[in-house]
Structure formats: structure tokens, C-alpha cells
Amino acid sequence: MHGIHGIHEHSGSGTLRTVTSETTATDRPALPSPRRRPLRLARVPARLRGRLYGPLLAFLITSAAFCSAWAARGTYPFGNTGRAINDQANQYVPFHRALWDLAHGQSAGDVLFTWRAGFGQQFLSDYYTYLGNPFSWLAVLVPRDHVDLAVFAITPITMGTAAAVMTVYLGKLHPGPWWQRGVLGACYGLCGWALSDASYIPMWLWGLVALPLLGIAVEWCLEERRWPGVALFVALAWFGNFYTAMMATMAACVLLAIRLITRDMTGRQRLRAVWRAATAAGTGILLTLPLLLPSFLSSGSAQPTQAGAFEPVRIELFLAGMLPATHLWGGRPRLYVASLGLILAGSFLFNAAIARRTRLVWAAATLLVVASFQFPPTQYVWHGLAVPNGNPYREAFVFSGMVVVLAWLALAHRPRPPHVALTAALLVAATFVLRRADDFGGWTWPAVLVGGAVSVLALVLLALGEKRRYLIPVAAVLMVCVVFAESTVAAAGADSRRGRERWAKPVATSNRSIGAHFDAVRQVDGWPAYRTDSGAPQSSYNDALALRAEGPQYYSSYLPEATYRTLEPLGYGFKNDGRTFFGADDPVLDAIFSIGARVRPGAEPGSWTSTRFAAPPLVTLRSGPYTSPNPADSVYARQENVLGATVHQVPQVSRGGTATEQTYTAQCAPGSEAYWYSPQIYGTLTHAGASRPLEDRMTGVIKLGEVPADGEVAVSVHTRTKDATAGEHPVGCLDRAALDTAIASLKSTGATKVTTGGHSIEATLPKGAEGTAVFAMTAVPGWQCTAPVKSFHGLVSVDLPAGTDKVSCTFTPKGLTPGLTAAALALLTLTSATLTTHRRRRRA
């Protein structure tokens, strides 16, 4: 805008548009046609500057600032400090490694199902939730050893893309210089929510892209054009991540309402715009139904969690979250953008060049949106009527986006220096008032004082540039630099402060030990003849996926309740209310689930050894019901009921000591193997001079060792769990010979050959097979077999008709078929609309 001289007049939107005083083509004398072509071509670079340079600038500022914060902290790949935080290490990197395996034909499963998680689980919902960000596919382009680096790169790339799309959206709201839109687009891409909450959650970050993407779609609806494009933009938003896309869609509804009020439109035009928006949004969401519906149904059948009720933070903490470079602990809102954006947004109300109705509506809508974050009913609506398990302010990016819009409208209408200075003074005053808020950011004062001062200086120089044009480049450099520097400091500060929390300690996701662990698993791979357990200690909660093993390790929001109810009674450890399962080095469990190889730590630090042993096939036969003679409430009896043989001695246990220092003694057959199970105790167990931690339900069945010649098993426990005991039957002694006999029997009568497909399994049975075929996989919803599926202690089983020589099962996610049908209808509608639009253009 500052590159030309012009006059302003009100447009139909209630904002201002620029009418240039340049001589138009109709004012010039007619020129011969050969001379007109160079004039048209000369204008192409100017259009490209507006369309490409602004988004490119926003992308570069955003991604460079975030990467600079990594470099300043010395984190991988710019240093040796681990990069992966919490679920980034436990879920996102392992799932991206699974995606790599899937794309390179090295997965045990397909996009619908994986055999490398929880003894076989759905994968479609996990893909949609954890791998939906389109940039996730960057992980398949690098060597598998460097997938984690690709996962880290997704963050700055997605943030940069969000900034670029916001730059385009701002231009749709009001024209203006490309570099100014680019700087404010970067303010959005580097908002507090992106730097703190979503910086290590690549799928959430797609919501940051979805918001301006849907904003552009709203503008098309108002212009009554590109209906197919609107539907595709909605689909693109929802394909990336339904959770944050839902929030962005709600925000788009707010943007549509604002624009309907502020634009000069007839009632009929408003109804048409709403109709176009509603039909396009519905069509776009229906296109995603093959992913959305199975995920919704999988969530409904997942193991429930104990999410607490929403409790708004105190008002001073809420307001402090709007200050630049703050990082509040725990479930606090991160609402800020760089000080340049805050100062411009604050001057929006004072800018008389903007129509009063526009100022009032935008300001009121922004205040209502941020107020809704503190009100429980509306907070539940933002989260799809669910209580979030974690930070409840996950929709904070919506407010930051609206702040950036206000900042752009103010900047595009040339804010007056006194208004800018007044807003900056108010920001300093607010910072002073909120300085004693909990965990007030150490970099907040420098951001407000230094960043604010430079921002004011840049805006003053920009205003003076109307007459002294050489000041405009200076102002541009200052604006770029202040956003870059302030956001880099904010990102580094957030990373540093978050790293002080125990749950957020960054860990390595690739090193020599992890590489050796992977190699050890590959050395004993025998799938599907038997499973391989990657063992412990685990480098992630999803080691089975990350290391190409087939053990029970699985961490997902979609872990089925059926899987929990199968594995928990058998002695597997778990956490997260049962949505995370760990392995257990127990030969009886290995026999039940056809585990024939196991990896354990080697003698040298970072080394691993592999062990191969006999195991039943994945499909075994049972001739009739079996009930263990051991105490029914013991984990050892439950194991035997599934195994179909008595292999344990479960002795009476004598308990002594105090409430916190307990002793347990029992008598078992000398030479047998003693095991311990006490899911109620958090503390330390000591046996035969060796100590190991007990982490209540996270610790499954553990091996104590060989029973000595006197037959006494003595255990001492130091517990930090008040009034907790090990229960009546914590000790079980395994008869190895009896177990070997049971395994041999299951092998001799079980399947002679097992083959697995991406989401299917087929077993060839011995001649004369009869009874019940039991599959070593949990009976999760979605299995269909050659005979009606039954639950055998939580495992898939089918009764065998006489003469059966083969049995097979296929897994289909619930909701996939109706989802595909709905998507096909939506695609047909979209295609018809596109062809109709094309024909109309040709006629015109």
C-alpha cells in the first residue's frame, strides 16, 4: 500500500479499499497491439510478489525462528540434547516409523491393521489421529534411522505453512503490501500455542494451517464462487487432524458470522453464503468419513480414561498467557503473539480509518471467543463435548489467529503513531500488573520492553515513510527482525522451562543402543511362525512398532477396552488408565501369545542379546474347558486357564514387618522358578540381595529367580503406597517341565501353517482337527472369521465344524464401509458441481 499514492473509500465490507491514482488503460491513447503485450507481461512480477513473496517470507521467518531456538538450546539435530518430549518419543516417532515400514512394504500389517502393537490392533484410527498431517509423509523419504529427524522437521515446516496460508488469508480480508502480510503471518505461525502446546505434537499443528485455510474458504462463500474449492479445503483441514480441525471449523463459523455482519449484503445474499458454506462443509467432512467414522467408533470402544472436570485458571494467569514470551506451567493457556501483533491489534479499536461497525463486531467477537475459553459449557463445545486429558486450552490458536487478523486490519489502514504508542504503553502497564503471576516468563519483560519499543519504532517509521520513502525498507527490516528475534527467544524459553518438568524431559529417539536394539530384534524375527518380544527396558511405549517386534507394547488413545480386559488379568503392566501396555518377561505369557523370541540387555552398556525358544503357533486347538486348580483370584490361575494346563504352584504367603517395610515368605518346590505380582504396591522389592522397583500397575509379573534347595522364597518390600499390600497370592512358582509339556502339546495339535495378510490371518489345521481354534490375538471389535467369533478369555476363537482343515479371520474397522459409501456420494456431488461450474464458465 505504501508503494503507491492513492485515496481511500469505503468498500461494501465496511473496511477501506485503495483506489490508485495511476493512469488507467482507458486514459491512455490507443497503442498498437504489439505494444500492449509487454505492458501486460510487465505486471506479472508485481502480482507474483503479492501472491508468492508474502507467504514465502512468512514461511521463512517462522521456520527459521523455531529452528534457531533449537540451535540456541543445543537440541538435536543442532546438538546432543534429546529432542523428543513426552508423547513425541512414545507415540509420534514410533508411529512414523510404522508409516515408513508401511510405505516401504516392511510392515506386518497394512493401513487397516497392524500385528506390531498389542498383539494385533487396528491401525486406521491411529493413522488418522497421529499421522494425518500431510507432512508426516516426509518421514518415508528419509532412511529409517532418520525418521525421528523428519518428525522433528514436521514442526517448523507445518508452522511455516500455517504462517504462509495466514498471509494469503489476510490478503483476502484486505489488500496490502506483501511483506507486511508476511510479517503478521509469521506472528500467527509463531503464536504461543504453537511454540508451547503443539510444538512437539505434529498432528495438532495441522489445525494451525486449517484455520486460515477455512478463512479463505469463508471468503469464497461470501463471493459466491469456488464451491468445490471450499469443500476440498474443508476436507483437507479434516484429513489432517479432526481434533484441531473441529476447532478451526468452529472458528470459521465465527469468521463467517463476522463477515456477514460487516459486509454490505442483502438478506438473500447472506442466506446464499450460509447455504454454500454449510453444504460445502458437509461435503468436505463427508469426504473424510472413511477415516473419521472408524476413528469415532474406535474411540467409543477404547479403554476409558479418568479425565477430570474442566476448572478455569485464575483470571491473572489467563491474562498473563496473552503476554509475549510467557510460558505457564501445566494446563495454562498460551494465547500470545509477538508484541508487534499485540500492539497493532490493540490499536485496532482506535483506528478511525476503519468503519465503526467493523471495529465493534471484530472486537466483540474476539472478546467473546477468548471469554468462551473460561466458561465450562463453551469450553466443552470447543473440544467436541469431551473433557480433554491434559491442557484444556487446546483451542488457544483460534484467539491468536483473530488477534493477528485485528493486527492486519489495523496495519492495512495505517495506524497513527499516537495510537500505537498508547497501545504499547497499555501493554507495559498490563505486564507490570501481571508480573507476579505464577511462573511469569523470564523473557516477558525483554519481549515487552525491547520488542515493544522496536515494534513502535518500526510502525512510526512506516508512517513517516508516506513522505520519506527511504524509511520504509528500514521499517520492514525492523519488523522482520523483531518478530524473528522475539519469537526465537520465546520458543527457546518455552523449551527450557518445559524441560524442567519431569514428564517433559527430552529423550533420545536414535542412538547406538536403540540401533543395536533394533538389530537384535531383526536377528530373531520369525513372524508369523512366532512372535518376537523386544523386551525391556523400553525406549518408547510403542517399542513393538518402532523396533518391528510383535509384543504387547502399545500406547494409543484407541487401545480397545477389550484388549485391556484381556491383558490386565494375565499380569501385563499398564498405565494411562489402561491405554498403555508394557511387556512382561514371563514364559507362560510367551506361550499364550506365541512369543518365540525375546531380546534382553547385553553385558556391555548399550548392547542387546537375542534368545530363541519353543512356542506354540498363533492358532492352537482346545478340546474342552479347563479350570486351574490354583486359587482363582491369582494371576497364575488366570494364566493357566488361558494356557489350558497347570504349570504353577501358588503357595500360601506369610506376611510380616510394618506398613511400609513388609516381608513375605512362601514355600515352593526347589528348582522351580519363582515369580512375583503386586499391582497395588509402589516402592522397591528386594529378593536374594537384588533390588528392583515396583511401580504399582506399571509393573507386571516379574521373575524372582530359581527357588533354593530349602524351598523358601523370601521377599522384602518397601512401599510408598499407604496401606498397600501384595495381596493374598503374590508368589507363583513355575514348573518348567510342565510348561514345556504344555507347549509341546499345543504345537502338536495346533495349526501346521499360519499365514498373515495385512489385516487377515489363515491357519492350516491338522487332519481330524476338532474343538475350538484359539487365535493369539485379542477379540477387539472388527474381526470376522469363517465361523462365528467367540471370546476365549478375551482371545479370538471359533468352534470348528467337523472336517475343518482351514480357518481364517479378516479384520475390518467398524464404520469403514458406511464411511466409504458416504465419501463416494460426497465425491460424486463434488464432481458434479465441478463439471457444472466448468460448463457455466464455458458458456460465459
Q: Residue 573 falls within a domain, yes or no?
A: no
Which CATH number goes with the domain that contains 707? Answer: 2.60.40
Q: Residue 565 falls within a domain, yes or no?
A: no
Q: Residue 686 falls within a domain, yes or no?
A: yes
| Sign, Cα dihedral of 373, 377, 378, 382 | positive
698-722 pLDDT, tens digit each: 999 999 999 999 999 999 999 998 8
Domain count, the chain: 3
Q: Residue 822 falls within a domain, yes or no?
A: no
Instruction: Decide: 546 and 96 in contact? Cβ < 8 Å.
Output: no
Q: In which element (H, E) is residue 512 found?
A: helix 512-523
What is residue 144's DSSP assignment? Answer: G
- In this prediction, residue 31 carries a pLDDT of 36
652 and 766 housed in the same domain? no
Q: Which of 477, 504, 531 is the last residue of a domain?
A: 504
CA–CA distances in Å: residue 89 to residues 118, 185, 379, 509: 18, 30, 29, 6
807-831 pLDDT, tens digit each: 999 999 999 999 999 999 999 999 9
Q: Distance (Å, rounded) from C-alpha 94 to C-alpha 541?
A: 9
Burial of 419-434, coded b for 16+ CB within 10 Å and e otherwise, reads bbeebbeebeebbeeb
Q: Tell which residue, 647, 613, 645, 644, has the closest CA to residue 735.
A: 647
Q: Distance (Å, rounded) from C-alpha 725 to C-alpha 682?
A: 10
Q: Residue 610 falls within a domain, yes or no?
A: no
239 and 289 housed in the same domain? yes
693 and 757 housed in the same domain? no
Range of the domain at 802: 745-811
Q: Distance (Å, rounded) from C-alpha 46 to C-alpha 41?
A: 10
Q: Residue 415 falls within a domain, yes or no?
A: yes
664 and 714 housed in the same domain? yes
- In this prediction, residue 79 carries a pLDDT of 83
Compute the CA torsion angle 281, 204, 298, 127 (nearest 10 deg): 100
400 and 491 housed in the same domain? yes
Q: Residue 548 falls within a domain, yes or no?
A: no
- In this prediction, residue 361 carries a pLDDT of 97
670 and 800 housed in the same domain? no
Q: Tell which residue, 44, 71, 54, has the closest CA to residue 177.
A: 54
Q: Distance (Å, rounded) from C-alpha 710 to C-alpha 359?
A: 87
CA–CA distances in Å: residue 638 to residues 189, 635, 645: 53, 5, 11
303's torsion region: left (phi>0), alpha (psi -120 to 50) or beta? beta
671 and 761 housed in the same domain? no
- In this prediction, residue 306 carries a pLDDT of 80
294 and 199 housed in the same domain? yes
- In this prediction, residue 24 carries a pLDDT of 33
Q: Which of 482, 504, 526 is the last residue of a domain?
A: 504
Q: Residue 12 falls within a domain, yes or no?
A: no
- In this prediction, residue 26 carries a pLDDT of 32
Q: Collapsing DSSP states into helix, strand and coil, what is residue 808?
A: strand
Low-confidence residues in the chain, pLDDT < 50: 1-42
Q: How close are the terminal C-alpha atoms of the chain, in Å?
A: 33
Here the cell at position 230 is 471450499
770 and 686 housed in the same domain? no
Cross-strand partners of 612: 597
692 and 730 housed in the same domain? yes
227 and 336 housed in the same domain? yes
350 and 429 housed in the same domain? yes
Q: Which of 734, 760, 785 is the last residue of a domain?
A: 734
